[in-house]
Structure 1
Amino acid sequence: MFRIVLGCILWASVAVSFTLPDKCTVFSESHNECNPVAPASFLPAFQDTAFKSKIRSEHTDGSSLFADLLEALNVTQSEFFAPWLGTWPDAIDWTAAVIGTHVSGATRSISQDPIFFISNDHDTINWRWTSNLVDKYFTQLVGYYFGQDAFAIRNEAYDDMLWVVLGWLETIKLVNTYDELYFTPVGANLSEAAPGAADEAFDEIINQPYHGTTWLPAFSHRARIFWDLASRGWDTKLCNGGMIWNPRLLPYKNAITNELFIAASISMYFHFPGDDNESPFSDRPDNFNPTDPDSDRSSGPRDARYLKAAVEGYRWLRNSNMTNEQGLFVDGFHISGYLDENNNNTRCDARDEMVFTYNQGVILTGQRGLWDATGAPSFLKDGHRLIQNVIKATGYDLKSDSPIEDLSELKASVLPRWHGLGRLGIMEEYCDASATCSQDGQTFKGIFFHHLTAFCAPLETPPADLKLLVHDRAFTQISRSHAEACKSYSGWLRHNVLAALETRDASGRFGQWWTAGLLAGAWTGAWPTRADDKIPDDPDATDYRNYGVPDNAAWRSSVSMLAPAQTPRKYGSREDQIPLGRAAEQEQTPPGTVKRGHNAKDPNNRGRARTVETQSGGLGLLRAYWHISRIP
């Protein structure tokens, strides 16, 4: 069993390079080591007692919100999932992995709140309704296990592989949560209810764990295989560490791949149950730590290599200078002069200033997991600072708990000011207002809210198997501060939810551009294009997620690394991340899509229109609001 001593040693070395303010951690092996000083609050200094009281007094119509969450999940699966194929046919490999993650998370949320499944007599919980819903979505996830093109993803970029890891770990959490809540053996002699049955045999058959636990070895094996494959992207020759995005392009160390590696690694540490299946495709030792004497053994729960990977990854990312003046993560770094034979530069010194919402989200799971493993308050402090930077960048003021602009003073057909990640307090991608989002861009906002939900879960004491002591006073203070800060985000979440709900069509499908839910009543004429969306152009920002990887020296070598038939992708296709040698995919218009410029009355019918990816955005937002608004 891995002892936390190694983790403490690793963390101590990281803390020095980070120059973190923590004098010691809340979790330790001895209360005599230090006396941790808990931060008074994770809230900004301007939030006074009156504001905090306002947040605590805010109430939510739980039954209505729960119904919206249920409907969003149902539409995701009834409108877009094909059970006979075991996938969402219009999704691509990585977006399908993300959608599966949303479905697992939302199903887990449903299983945790059966109180909303009250029978007609308004007295008892209808367990038939609850179990039928949970089993319905769980069996669809099992179908997706077989529908997922695991062979193709093995040849894609490292971030694509890591979405797979997070997806199956989320399903493992669903299974374990449901099993622990409702299927813990009661120890009773159940055979008394069946006279004539053999007591022991009957008890053994009936008193079983949740049937979903049968699938844990399969889910955990896939998670482990893809973590092993992705770890090959860790590179120490360039930029002193960090994950490379795509092995088929010039070295590019971007935020999302490194955030995913951190989040997936710490999630493997906590939620991976072990895997003794050495086949197929296991070729240890893994690249992340090939000198580890244990790197060729089967992974078990609480494997130290995952904690080490998360700590090292976070150390690199935090020192990488990958945040802009607004405190938001930009996309990543190139290495200038990489193709010049006379240039021996190995530093990440050419920063791409593009900002995407999902780059602000995935790291939150990593920060929360590293707090859970170490008890270092700086991880929570970093996370709350990032969340508050994001909220401000949407044009929302936490001090007044309202948008910066007065919504009553909106001018007809004038697009409100862009604040960095949105306008009018509503989160946006750069591509939203102009309806130029690809499948990538349509998936990003939901990812942010999924990881915000994970970060804001109530703090818990360390699992017993870590054998850690807790500094009770510091833990109580930090738990209160964390809950209070997360609760303060509920007004912003509610504002986004109300706008997003207004973009649903008659079938309940969410649109991509949520701000339109606030503008529809005050807008006449044509909706904005990229030329008039009021977003400043930055020559150092490349929107390759929506317009494709440029065919230039910053991204590709002079000798093309792609097959001749594979050119930079067109709008909506995936030619920049497909494996070498595969024929270029043809651009297809999803069913129900209205081409750009059509149906001016509904701005969310432009571009790719409503898709399973836009639906996942609404689902992730509703789930975040469901959990965070109900924090005590």
Structure 2
Amino acid sequence: MELLAAAFIIWLSWVLAVFARQPPSDPNIHILFDDFFQSYWKDSNWKGASSWTGDSASNLMVNYLTTLEHNDHRHKVDDIFIKIVSRSLNQWTLLQYLTQGYDDFGWTVFCLLEMLRYSYQYEERYPDSIVIDRLPILRKRFAFRAAFLHDAMKDSWSTELCGGGAEWKVRARRLSLWPSLDFSGIYKNSITNHLYNSNNAQIYNASSGQPRPYEINELSLHYLRLMLKLIRPVLGWPRAQFQYFNFTDTDLIYRTIEGIKWMEQAHLLTNESLYIDGQRLRFTQDTPNERPKLSCDASVKTLYTYNQVAGIRALRYLSLATSDSKPISQGHQAIQNLISSTYNGRLGSNGILEDICDRFGNCTQDMQIFKGLPFLDIKNYCEPIEWANKEVQASHRKHCSSYRGWINGNAAAAYATVDQSGKFGGYWGLNSTESNEMTQKQSIETQVAGLSVLLTSSWFNKKFS
């Protein structure tokens, strides 16, 4: 009994600590977003961002625009929307397509799909906007580029290695000429598979039919892709269908289900149901005379925050496509696993989310954005689920409402790092007795992370107060 009482006191202190933190008010959020856009948007792109963190910055701004519901914000909305749309449609070169990894494809597809989704909300809110006449063409271009990249990303999936799963790195050939070299770089990681599954499901629900290329560079890339499909069997790839990509292809949902099942059995989860980074291949021999066998069990066991709920988008859209409520429950379980990890020391302490690198101040550029992304995932997951029955809708809302205190605690911790210039620090877990010189790096990635949790907190306080 004494142990139970002590455990309860510790748990209660954590809860009170989280609820005691108060996030900033909405006016501060608008100022911070204005400063962020003015500071980091330069020459039609995000200053200092990589390809995928730039896509994440654009996705953050789309999420912000969805919260601006009044005509008072009309000029700001038009300005931001036109600029980030221009970036996504101009950042399109053959060199970029050939040199990126499959996870980069996935982030770009995600960004394009969110812009496509927001365009309908924009049309409904601002029917007299000067942009309205351009929306049909913009939607065609969003859809084609998302379809083109996702069609290429389908090449990442292979069943002959590890029984399935999407690969992280693009391979020029599937045919193995020298196995020990060809297979050494193959990596099937959590984030690539989460993006692959989620984009499959979201594309299916986007209702865009068969996208067509609109501009000459899109047409050129499209026909180059079709030519590659013809010659790829020579390099060991399966013979692909010579046809346009169809958003409504039911194969997309099959691929989502197949991908989720593979992740569940691929030893990517810890005992706490947290996703490790991924699996590499290795050769094994039981005896010196035996031919080496290829195994898919060289686990990279590092935990990263952004891996944990990146798959809930797939579950939400799978539920929408199939009218099955089970994926919704699975998504909430993933969120609860993430929250628990911020109390047990796996991905944070005292309820505040952090990556392992945060407290040591040695996060790479990519890592600096990681912990902000789960909050936008949770925000979008907790939108109403009109297709479900009333009982499931009520349960969904109840679960989402329960996350509010935890989100507010993280928002307050992130806001506490803001300096006089309005910039977020990189480590939210500092207390007043700790030095922050080493750990409080500032970059576009740290700003996206901080603004993501603040925006999510503001949204939750409006929807679940």
Instruction: Report the TM-score, using the length of structure 1 for normalisation.
Output: 0.62
- Contact 2:189-2:278 within 8 A present in 1 as well: yes
Q: Could you tell me how far apart the structure 1 residues matched to 2:390 and 2:365 are?
A: 43
The residue aligned with 2:355 is 429
The residue aligned with 2:29 is 69
The residue aligned with 1:512 is 426
The residue aligned with 1:619 is 451
DSSP 3-state at the match of 2:219 = coil
The residue aligned with 1:80 is 40
Amino acid at match of 2:101: A
The residue aligned with 1:539 is none
The residue aligned with 2:299 is 351
Amino acid at match of 1:136: D
Structure (1 or 2) with the larger CA radius of gyration: 1
- Contact 2:94-2:221 within 8 A present in 1 as well: no
**Structure 1, residues 47-71: CA drift from partner, whole Å, max 9, x if none?**
xxxx9xx9xxx9x999x63323323
**Residue 513 of structure 1: CA displacement?**
0.4
The residue aligned with 2:220 is 280
1:485 matched to 2:405? The reply is no
Q: Could you tell me how far apart the structure 1 residues matched to 2:291 and 2:79 are?
A: 58
1:136 matched to 2:83? The reply is no
Q: Could you tell me how far apart the structure 1 residues matched to 2:195 and 2:284 are?
A: 25
Q: Could you tell me how far apart the structure 1 residues matched to 2:411 and 2:87 are?
A: 28
In the superposition, relative to structure 1, how do residues 217 and 365 fare at CA in structure 2: closer, same or farther (>3 Å)? Answer: same
Q: Could you tell me how far apart the structure 1 residues matched to 2:323 and 2:32 are?
A: 35
The residue aligned with 2:411 is 497
Q: How does 1:511-530 map to 2 (within 5 A)?
A: 511-516=425-430, 519=431, 521-523=432-434, 527=435
In the superposition, relative to structure 1, how do residues 147 and 611 fare at CA in structure 2: closer, same or farther (>3 Å)? Answer: farther
DSSP 3-state at the match of 1:302 = coil
**What fraction of aligned residue pairs are identical, expressed as a percent?**
26
**Residue 238 of structure 1: CA displacement?**
0.6
**Can you give the 5+ residue segments of structure 1 that lack an aligned partner in the other structure?**
1-50, 115-126, 185-205, 396-417, 462-469, 528-600
Q: Could you tell me how far apart the structure 1 residues matched to 2:317 and 2:109 are?
A: 15
Amino acid at match of 1:420: R
The residue aligned with 1:8 is none
The residue aligned with 1:629 is 461
- Contact 2:204-2:248 within 8 A present in 1 as well: yes
Q: Could you tell me how far apart the structure 2 residues matched to 1:361 and 1:65 are?
A: 26
Q: Could you tell me how far apart the structure 1 residues matched to 2:130 and 2:347 are?
A: 51
- Contact 2:22-2:412 within 8 A present in 1 as well: no
Q: Could you tell me how far apart the structure 1 residues matched to 2:302 and 2:289 are?
A: 29
In the superposition, relative to structure 1, how do residues 130 and 213 fare at CA in structure 2: closer, same or farther (>3 Å)? Answer: farther
The residue aligned with 2:364 is 438
In the superposition, relative to structure 1, how do residues 67 and 271 fare at CA in structure 2: closer, same or farther (>3 Å)? Answer: farther
Q: Could you tell me how far apart the structure 2 residues matched to 1:137 and 1:505 are?
A: 25
The residue aligned with 1:224 is 147
**Structure 1, residues 603-625: CA drift from partner, whole Å, max 9, x if none?**
554xxx21111111012112222
Choose the corresponding residue for 1:156, options 93, 100, 122. Answer: 100
Aligned residues: 421
In the superposition, relative to structure 1, how do residues 246 and 291 fare at CA in structure 2: closer, same or farther (>3 Å)? Answer: closer
- Contact 1:335-1:346 within 8 A present in 2 as well: yes
In the superposition, relative to structure 1, how do residues 158 and 342 fare at CA in structure 2: closer, same or farther (>3 Å)? Answer: farther
- Contact 1:87-1:144 within 8 A present in 2 as well: yes
1:266 matched to 2:201? The reply is yes
Q: Could you tell me how far apart the structure 2 residues matched to 1:145 and 1:182 are?
A: 22
**Structure 1, residues 563-622: CA drift from partner, whole Å, max 9, x if none?**
xxxxxxxxxxxxxxxxxxxxxxxxxxxxxxxxxxxxxx54554xxx21111111012112
- Contact 1:176-1:213 within 8 A present in 2 as well: no
Q: How does 1:539-554 map to 2 (within 5 A)?
A: none
Q: Could you tell me how far apart the structure 1 residues matched to 2:418 and 2:243 are?
A: 50
- Contact 1:237-1:346 within 8 A present in 2 as well: no
**Structure 1, residues 79-123: CA drift from partner, whole Å, max 9, x if none?**
1110xx21113111121111111112211222xx32xxxxxxxxx
**Can you give the 5+ residue segments of structure 2 that lack an aligned partner in the other structure?**
1-11, 172-183
Q: How does 1:73-152 map to 2 (within 5 A)?
A: 73-82=33-42, 85-110=43-68, 113-114=69-70, 127=71, 129-148=72-91, 150-152=93-95
**Residue 224 of structure 1: CA displacement?**
1.1
DSSP 3-state at the match of 1:391 = helix
Q: Could you tell me how far apart the structure 1 residues matched to 2:289 and 2:377 are?
A: 42
**Residue 305 of structure 1: CA displacement?**
3.0
In the superposition, relative to structure 1, how do residues 454 and 207 fare at CA in structure 2: closer, same or farther (>3 Å)? Answer: closer
Q: Could you tell me how far apart the structure 1 residues matched to 2:57 and 2:117 are?
A: 16
Amino acid at match of 1:610: Q
The residue aligned with 1:332 is 278
- Contact 2:283-2:294 within 8 A present in 1 as well: no
- Contact 2:204-2:250 within 8 A present in 1 as well: yes
In the superposition, relative to structure 1, how do residues 208 and 76 fare at CA in structure 2: closer, same or farther (>3 Å)? Answer: closer
Q: How does 1:123-522 map to 2 (within 5 A)?
A: 127=71, 129-148=72-91, 150-154=93-97, 155-183=99-127, 209=132, 211-247=134-170, 250-271=185-206, 273-274=208-209, 275-277=211-213, 279-282=219-222, 283-284=225-226, 295-337=241-283, 343-395=291-343, 419-461=345-387, 475-516=389-430, 519=431, 521-522=432-433
Q: Could you tell me how far apart the structure 2 residues matched to 1:429 and 1:105 are?
A: 23
**Residue 627 of structure 1: CA displacement?**
2.6
The residue aligned with 1:570 is none
Q: Could you tell me how far apart the structure 2 residues matched to 1:153 and 1:453 are?
A: 31
Q: Could you tell me how far apart the structure 1 residues matched to 2:368 and 2:22 are?
A: 29
Amino acid at match of 2:203: M
Amino acid at match of 2:425: G
Instruction: Report the TM-score, using the length of structure 2 for normalisation.
Output: 0.82
DSSP 3-state at the match of 1:169 = helix
**Residue 353 of structure 1: CA displacement?**
0.9
Amino acid at match of 1:107: L
Q: Kindly report the root-mean-square deviation, in angstroms, between the aligned alpha carbons of the 2 structures.
A: 3.1
In the superposition, relative to structure 1, how do residues 260 and 344 fare at CA in structure 2: closer, same or farther (>3 Å)? Answer: farther
